[in-house]
Amino acid sequence: MGAAGSEPEPPPGPLKGGGFAAEVSWVRSWKRVLAGIGVTVSGLERSLATRRRLQQQRGPGEKLPRLGEKLVTGWPVPQFVSLFLPEFPVRPPLGQPQLKILGFVAKGSFGTVLKVLDCGREKVFAVKVVPKVEVLRRDTLKQCKEEVSIQRQVSHPFVHCLGDSWQGQRHLFIMCTYCSTGDLHTLWDSSGRFAEATIRLFAAELVLVLGYLHDLGIVHRDVKMENILLDERGHLKLTDFGLSRHLRRGERAYTICGTLQYMAPEVLSGGPYSHSADWWSLGILLFTLATGKFPVPPERDHLAMLASVNRCSYESPGSLSQGLSLLLSELLCQNPLRRLRYLHHFKSHLFFRGVTFDAELLQKHPVDVVVAARQAEAAAQESSVAFADFDCDLLASLSRPRPG
């Protein structure tokens, strides 16, 4: 997941001593966290008033149990937080399908992705496991809700589809179809530059899926090679909607988010920006596939990156065809209003001459470079995963993994 614009205030931890005044402070801290998603917790304040009356009725030597004890003991994040995540139904371990962990896929800043077998359906899935404490510490509760809401809304051949989502005591779980070939960045890292025929196919598939999302009023905001998975025939699946948001036509966004080397200049500068930012990211991606390197090296922060982006001419190497050079120049246009962004413009573009923008026809033949890479790595061993960090409800519902 990409970088965010600022470091949010962390939510309160478990209640530790300090008497009644500390409890008041603890509740008010949770109110600030939940206010960011439009939630009120007046019930907690009412419980404080009740406790005040009970304490007055008791003698000075008698103590009430701390307010946070019941909440924290069973649920490391207070249980009332789960009520504001209807996108993640609470499921007891026995109610979950029989799943078997097969291995480890990836580890990110927000969680871990596991390869899991659904024994009932005899189908393999990827399950993203997100610790609730990280969601609250990073103030990304609204972001998690939006991610699942968007994935439930979309259905496209080139989108990594959502299979299910739920929550346990300590984690949120997002289950999607498993892509055994890996991601585009891994393929690029091992292959270097791609042939223009392959770039043309990948570009056409991404144009279709981005146009589809934008027609639904969704801006992805983190289009990059790592977020593009490959199916067994080598075709693309756009994934990771963690930074996506609904943005109606004519509406503008201002949050600095994404991955620095792919961010459009209007995003790096703090907006306003719109769906055009995704087309800039596509231009960076295609430039990298064609040349084997990024047009601008990574910088330490968005301000330094913006300065580098503004200085870069984005000139294409002479080895590229006229059509591809023209496409890159029209995608990597500093002015978002002049940036190539409409499907009918792509259809008539020189680079896409002879291409039919039909998802079914584009998937008709396998992608040779992907199939060859997959065959070369068929004997590779999968990494094992350490399970000590996962909560009991996950382990209770998933059978023990086979040795790595």
Mean pLDDT confidence for 277-292:
97
Distance CA(384)–CA(365), nearest Å, equals: 34
Q: Across 59-63, 105-109, 122-126, 197-201, which has the greatest mean pLDDT?
A: 197-201
- Locate 11 and state its tokens: 């939510």
- Locate 149 and state its tokens: 């809401």
The answer to whether the beta carbons of residues 115 and 124 sit under 8 Å apart is: yes
pLDDT at 304 over 90: yes
Angle, in degrees to the nearest 10, between helices 368-376 and 184-191: 80
Mean pLDDT confidence for 214-240:
95
Distance CA(48)–CA(43), nearest Å, equals: 9
**pLDDT at residue number 191:** 84
State the catalytic residue, choosing from 222, 231, 278, 393. 222
Q: Please report, as a single letter, which amino acid is at residue 248.
A: R
Torsion of CA 250, 159, 294, 323, to 10 degrees: -80
> If you ran DSSP here, which 8-state letter would residue 248 be given?
-
User: Which residues make Cβ contacts (< 8 Å) with residue 209, sequence separation at least 6?
Assistant: 156, 158, 159, 236, 238
pLDDT in tens, 321-343: 999 999 999 999 999 999 999 99
pLDDT in tens, 6-16: 444 444 444 44
pLDDT in tens, 89-144: 887 654 455 788 888 887 766 778 899 988 888 889 999 999 888 888 888 888 88
3-state secondary structure 105-126: EEEECCEEEEEEEECCCCEEEE
The mean of the pLDDT values for the chain is 79
Least confidently predicted of 78-87, 88-97, 241-250, 307-316: 88-97
- Locate 9 and state its tokens: 């205030």
Mean pLDDT confidence for 188-207:
94
Mean pLDDT confidence for 156-167:
91
Give Cα 370 to chain centroid, integer Å: 24
Q: Hey, how many other C-beta atoms are within 10 angstroms of the C-beta on 123?
A: 12
Q: Which structural domains are found in the chain, ordered by start?
A: 19-81 (no CATH), 93-178+380-399 (3.30.200.20), 184-366 (1.10.510.10)
Please give the backbone phi and psi of residue 302, each rounded to the nearest 5 degrees, phi first. Answer: -70, -30
Prior bond of 76 cis (ω within 30°): no
Task: List beta partners, residue 238.
Answer: 159, 228
Burial (CB < 10 A; 0-12, 13-18, 19+), residue 140, is: buried
Distance CA(337)–CA(169), nearest Å, equals: 47
- Locate 297 and state its tokens: 């090296």
Mean pLDDT confidence for 14-20:
49
Long-range contacts of 374-380 (CB under 8 A, 24+ apart): 374/180, 374/181, 374/232, 374/234
The answer to whether the beta carbons of residues 246 and 256 sit under 8 Å apart is: no
**pLDDT at residue number 402:** 40
**pLDDT at residue number 70:** 38
Q: How confident is the model at residue 267 (pLDDT cuts 50, 70, 90)?
A: very high
**pLDDT at residue number 350:** 97
**pLDDT at residue number 36:** 54
User: Which residues make Cβ contacts (< 8 Å) with residue 361, sequence separation at least 6?
Assistant: none
Q: Map tokens 């144009």 to a residue.
A: 207
pLDDT at 22 over 80: no
**pLDDT at residue number 387:** 38
User: Which residues make Cβ contacts (< 8 Å) with residue 15, sequence separation at least 6?
Assistant: 22, 23, 26, 66, 67, 68, 69, 72
**pLDDT at residue number 53:** 58
**pLDDT at residue number 15:** 46
pLDDT at 404 over 50: no
H or E segment and range at residue 129? strand 123-131
Burial (CB < 10 A; 0-12, 13-18, 19+), residue 302, is: buried
**pLDDT at residue number 134:** 86
pLDDT at 206 over 60: yes
Tell me which of 169 and 83 has the higher pLDDT: 169
Mean pLDDT confidence for 55-74:
44
Mean pLDDT confidence for 237-256:
92
pLDDT in tens, 341-390: 999 999 999 999 999 999 999 999 999 888 888 776 654 444 434 333 44
Q: How confident is the model at residue 257 (pLDDT cuts 50, 70, 90)?
A: very high
Burial (CB < 10 A; 0-12, 13-18, 19+), residue 319, is: exposed
**pLDDT at residue number 88:** 87
The answer to whether the beta carbons of residues 243 and 220 sit under 8 Å apart is: yes
Active-site residue, 222 included:
yes
pLDDT at 192 over 60: yes
pLDDT at 82 over 70: no
Counts for the chain of helices (H) and strands (E), in that order: 15, 10
